[in-house]
Structure 1
Amino acid sequence: MLLFLSMPLVSSAQGFILPKDKKFQKLKFELINNLIILPVEINGSKLRFVLDSGVSKPILFNLSDQDSVQINNVSEVTIKGLGDGEPMQALSSKGNAFKLGKAKNYNQDLYVVLDREINFSTSLGIPVHGILGYDLFRDFVVEINYSARSIKLHNPDSYEYVPHKKTQVLPLAVHARKAYITGMVLMRDDKNVPVKLLVDTGSSDALWLFNQPEKGLEIPELNYEDYLGRGLSGDIFGKRSKISGVKLGDYELKDTKVAFPYRESFGFLKDFGDRNGSIGGEILRRFNIVFDYSRGKVSLRKNGNFKAPFQYNLAGIELQHNGLRYIAESLANSNGVVIDDDSSFGNVQILLENKTRLSLVPEIVVSAIRAGSPAAEAGLREGDVILAVNGKRIYNYKLQEVLKMLNEKEGKRVRVLIERYNRDLLFTFVLKKVF
C-alpha cells in the first residue's frame, strides 16, 4: 500500500458539479449482493466504492499493497460505525479530487481507515476500496435503474419530473445527512404499524426493524439468531424472521424478510428518536428509483425484480475469499505463462511441460455457519475450504455464484467437497425452508 500525503489542491469548487453543457452523468455499476459498486477516481487513482446512502462522508479502506493513493491535508480522528467493536482511529483528509465520469468535486473531504480488518472485498468477491453516499445525493438528483444496472447523476437545476401512472412520488425526509422514508409494516399478528425507515443503499439486507414492543414492533415467535453483516466497528448480529409484508405508498411487498439487530450494534446512538429501522438493497432493487434530496422526494417504479421471492440462507453458510491457492490440472498441449485479468482477484496460470497447468486462484472458505442449519448438522465447520459444489469446481465461479449454488431452492440436495487439515471431505445436506 502506498499512501501519499500532501497539502490540499487549490480550488474554489464546492461539492460535485457537472460541466455546464451536461445535464446528467450516466454510469454503469456492478450489483453484487444487492450492493451498488461504482467506479470512483480519487486524486487520479481508479478505485471501486459502494454507494451507501447511510454514510455521511466518503470512507476509504482496504488499500492493498498494490494500491497507490494520494490524500490531502491529513489529521487524526476517531470514528465509530455499526458493529459491536470499539471506536477506531482514522485519518481525516480535506481537499481531495473525486471524479465519477464527468461529475467532479475538487474539494472533497474523506476519512481513511487503515485497519486491514475493515475489508468488504472478501465477502463481495471483488476489490472494493470504500463507501460514498451523502455528498452525491446532496449534489445531484440520483436516478438508479437497478434493472439496467445504471445510475444517472442529474443536475438538480435542470431536472424535470415527468408524470407517469406507474410511478409513485413519496416524501423523503433528510436529517443529519441521512434520508428517511415512511411506510407501513404488516406484522404476523395482523397489526399494521407505521414506520420511519433509514434509506440504506449500503445494506444488502431487506428490512431491519428495531425491537420496540411498545410501538407494535416485536420479534415474531418464529425466528433464529444470525450474523447480519459487518459494520465499520465490527460484526452485527441479531434475529432473523419474516413478517406479512411492508408497504411503501401503494406498493406492497408480501412475506417480507426482516432482521432485528441487537441494540449493542448501535452503541454510538444514544436514542433512535422516531426512527424504527432501515430499508436496504434487497427491497430497493425491486424498484427503479429517483432520489431528490433537494426537494425532499423519492420516486418509485417497480421493476422486474418486484415479485422475486426474498432470499434466505437455506444452507446456513457464509463464505469469503481467503487469499489465493494453487490448483493443478492436466492439459493436452500448450505452453508459456498466461495472465488472465478478469478485474477480480486475478488468475495466474503456469504451464509445465505441456502436460500440467498450475493455476493461482482465489481460495473460498466458510467464514461463518449458523447453528442448527443443514450445513452445520452435516458437519461443515468455519474455516473449511470449499473445493466443489455439486461436482462443479468452484474456482471457475465468482463468490456470489457459489453462494447461489449453495442456496438454490428448498428441498435440493447439495454435495460440498471441502479441504480440512489437508484432507478432502465430502458432505451432503438438503436445503430446508427457514420458516
Structure 2
Amino acid sequence: MFVLLLSNLVFSQGRFTIQNKHRSDKIKFKLINNLIIIPVKINGVTLSFLLDTGVSKPIIFNFLNVSDTLKIKNTETIFLRGLGEGELVEALKSNNNIIRIGEAINLSQDLYAIFEANLDLAPKLGFPVHGIIGNDIFSDLIVEVNYSKEYLKLTEPEAYKYKKCGKCETFNLEFYNGKPYINAEVTIDSKKIPVKLLIDSGGSDVLWLFENDSLGIKSSNAFFNDFLGHGLSGSVYGKRTKIDALSLKSFVLENANVAYPDSASISIARKFKDRNGSLAGNVLKRFNIIFDYQKAIITLKKNALFKEKFSYNKSGIELAHDGVRFVKEIDDRILKEKTGLIRNHDAINSTKIVIDTQYKMSLKPAYTIVELRNDSPAKKAGLLIGDVVLRINNKPTHQFSLQDVMHEFYDDSGKHIRLKVDRNGKVLNFSFNLENPFKKKKIPKYLGIL
C-alpha cells in the first residue's frame, strides 16, 4: 500500500478538457491490490499512474530515469513531506507539461519528479507504476469509477447528466488542501461514533483511524502490530484489529478491518484537526462511485464486491518484486523415430524413440521478503527478510503475479504453507500453518506442589 500527503502549495496551471463531441470518455484501468492503475500520456510518452484522491499534484518517480524521455523542463528544486517518520523528500517541480488521459487533456500541467528510490511502487505491486495523479482530474471533471468492470468515465461537468438511482447513497464532500473528506460512522465496542475520513483511493487498506480516547476511537485489546504502508517520508507502522461496523448511511460493512497508525507517522496528516482517519481502496472497491467535486458530492452504489469478506495476512510475510532471476524452462519436446515424427499410436516395438528435451533460460520475477511481522508463523518458522521465495506449496512463484502469491497468505487459518527460498545462493525449505493474528496465546498450566 502507498499513502501520500503533500504540503499546502499554491499552483497556477491549465485544466483538463475532453476533446470529443460527447465531452466524455471511458478509460479501462487495472485494479491491483485494491488500487487503480491508469494509462497516462505525459509529453507524448505513455506511462502507468496510480489514481489517488489523496494526492494534490501529479508525481513522477524520477529515479526511473524518465525525465529526459519526457522532456521535462522549467524545473525548480523543492522539498516535500508526507506520511512516515523520515526526512523531507527532494523533488523537481516542472510546469507546462502536456498530460493526456484518454481523450482528456491538460496542456499546461504542473508535476513533480521525486528521486527517492524507496517510493518505487512497482516492486510492491508487481506491476510497473511510473507516478501518481489525483486532484487535478477530480477537480476538473466528473469521474465515475466502475470498480466491478474496471473502467473510469470522465465527463466535463456541464455535459454530465445524473440518472435516477434508488439503490444509491449520496454524500456531501468537504475539502482540505484539495483532498476530499466524507462523514461516516464506526461502531467500536457497541458504541456508534461519527467520523470524518479522507477518501484515499491511493491506499489499499480498508480503514485507518486515528486513536482518540475522548471520542472512544481506540484499539481493542485484540490487536497485532504490523507494517501498514509506505508514505512519502518513510514506512508507516501501527496496530491492526477489527471494529464492529463501518456505516456509510444505509451501507453497513460489519466486522471490518481497521488500522491505527502510530502517531509519529501521521503527524502531518493530523494538521486537519477534524480528521479521524482514511477510507481506502478495500472499502471503495465495493462500490461504483461518482465523484463530483464541482457540486461537492459523491454517489455510491454497491457492486458485486460488496460482500467480499475482510481478511488479514496470516503469514506475517510482505513480498516485493525484487528484480529478476534466471529460470531454466522446458522449451520444446521433440519425439523422433528413425523414419520421422511419431504421430498418435503408430510406434511399434522395433521403432527407436528419442526424447530430445530442449531448455531455455528465461528471466522471471524474483519475489523477496521485505517485511516480516514479529511473532508471525513465518518468523517463527525461520524465514528472514531478504529470502527470495522460489516456490509456494510446490508451485513456482514466477508463474504467478505478486498479487496471486500474496493471496495465498490471506487464506483460512490452519492452511499449511510450504516455501522454498533462496538465501544468499543456498536453497532452503520452510513450512508453517497460517494463524489467526488475533488468536489469544495459551497460558501454560503448572502443577502445584502438594
Shift, 1:216, TM fit = 1.2
SS state at 1:160 partner: coil
SS state at 1:72 partner: coil
Q: Which amino acid aligns with 1:428?
A: S
Look up the match of 2:239. Answer: 239
- Contiguous gaps of at least 5 residues in structure 1: 1-11, 335-352
Look up the match of 1:397. Answer: 400
Shift, 1:420, TM fit = 1.2
Matched, 1:323 2:323: yes
Q: Distance in 2 between matches of 1:207 and 1:432?
A: 22
Look up the match of 1:341. Answer: none
Q: Distance in 1 between matches of 2:243 and 2:267?
A: 26
1:89-104 map, 5 Å: 89-104=90-105
Look up the match of 2:182. Answer: 181
Shift, 1:354, TM fit = 6.4
TM-score normalised by length of structure 1:
0.90
Q: Which amino acid aligns with 1:195?
A: V
Q: Distance in 2 between matches of 1:13 and 1:279?
A: 29
Q: Distance in 1 between matches of 2:268 and 2:302?
A: 35
Matched, 1:381 2:388: no
Look up the match of 2:313. Answer: 313
1:160-171 map, 5 Å: 160-171=161-172
Q: Distance in 1 between matches of 2:291 and 2:326?
A: 46
Q: Distance in 2 between matches of 1:202 and 1:286?
A: 15
2:20–2:103: 8 Å Cα contact kept in structure 1? no
Shift, 1:69, TM fit = 1.8
TM-score normalised by length of structure 2:
0.87
Look up the match of 1:118. Answer: 119
Look up the match of 2:368. Answer: 365
2:144–2:289: 8 Å Cα contact kept in structure 1? yes
Counting aligned pairs with the same residue, the percent is: 41
Q: Distance in 1 between matches of 2:357 and 2:107?
A: 53
SS state at 2:86 partner: coil
Look up the match of 1:5. Answer: none
Equivalent in 409, 422, 425 of residue 422 of structure 1: 425
Summarize deviations over 1:165-202 as a string: whole Å, max 9, x none.
11111111123200000010000x21110000000000
Q: Distance in 2 between matches of 1:172 and 1:80?
A: 25
1:286–1:305: 8 Å Cα contact kept in structure 2? yes
Look up the match of 1:350. Answer: none
Q: Compared with structure 1, are the counterparts of its residues 388 and 110 closer, same or farther at alpha carbon in structure 2 (3 Å cutoff)?
A: same
Q: Compared with structure 1, are the counterparts of its residues 248 and 39 closer, same or farther at alpha carbon in structure 2 (3 Å cutoff)?
A: same
1:256–1:310: 8 Å Cα contact kept in structure 2? yes
Shift, 1:271, TM fit = 3.0
Q: Which amino acid aligns with 2:202?
A: G
Summarize deviations over 1:138-174 as a string: whole Å, max 9, x none.
0111100000000001111111111211111111112
- Contiguous gaps of at least 5 residues in structure 2: 1-11, 335-355, 439-450
Q: Distance in 1 between matches of 2:227 and 2:307?
A: 26
SS state at 1:157 partner: helix
1:62–1:119: 8 Å Cα contact kept in structure 2? no
Looking at CA atoms only, which structure, 1 or 2, has the larger radius of gyration?
2
Q: Which amino acid aligns with 1:147?
A: S
SS state at 1:371 partner: coil
Summarize deviations over 1:19-72 as a string: whole Å, max 9, x none.
251231100000001000000000011111100000010111154357822213
Q: CA RMSD in A?
A: 1.7
Q: Distance in 2 between matches of 1:131 and 1:154?
A: 20
Q: Which amino acid aligns with 2:217?
A: L
Q: Which amino acid aligns with 1:319?
A: L
Shift, 1:322, TM fit = 1.1
Q: Which amino acid aligns with 2:372?
A: I
Look up the match of 2:280. Answer: 280
Q: Distance in 1 between matches of 2:424 and 2:270?
A: 46
SS state at 2:256 partner: strand
Matched, 1:150 2:151: yes
Matched positions, count: 405
1:14–1:107: 8 Å Cα contact kept in structure 2? yes
2:74–2:94: 8 Å Cα contact kept in structure 1? yes
Summarize deviations over 1:390-431 as a string: whole Å, max 9, x none.
110011111101111233222211111111132211111111
Q: Distance in 2 between matches of 1:279 and 1:139?
A: 22
Q: Which amino acid aligns with 2:64?
A: S
Shift, 1:244, TM fit = 0.4
Q: Distance in 2 between matches of 1:405 and 1:113?
A: 33
Q: Which amino acid aligns with 1:246?
A: L
Equivalent in 386, 406, 413 of residue 410 of structure 1: 413
SS state at 1:179 partner: strand
1:63–1:129: 8 Å Cα contact kept in structure 2? no
Q: Which amino acid aligns with 1:200?
A: D
Q: Distance in 1 between matches of 2:210 and 2:121?
A: 25
Q: Compared with structure 1, are the counterparts of its residues 66 and 181 closer, same or farther at alpha carbon in structure 2 (3 Å cutoff)?
A: closer
1:131-146 map, 5 Å: 131-146=132-147
Q: Distance in 1 between matches of 2:216 and 2:52?
A: 29
Look up the match of 1:59. Answer: 59
Q: Which amino acid aligns with 2:31?
A: L
Q: Which amino acid aligns with 1:54?
A: G
Q: Distance in 2 between matches of 1:428 and 1:178?
A: 45
Q: Distance in 1 between matches of 2:154 and 2:232?
A: 27
1:62–1:118: 8 Å Cα contact kept in structure 2? no
Q: Distance in 1 between matches of 2:310 and 2:66?
A: 38
1:287–1:305: 8 Å Cα contact kept in structure 2? yes
Look up the match of 1:217. Answer: 217
Q: Distance in 2 between matches of 1:24 and 1:83?
A: 38
Q: Which amino acid aligns with 2:405?
A: V
Shift, 1:270, TM fit = 6.1
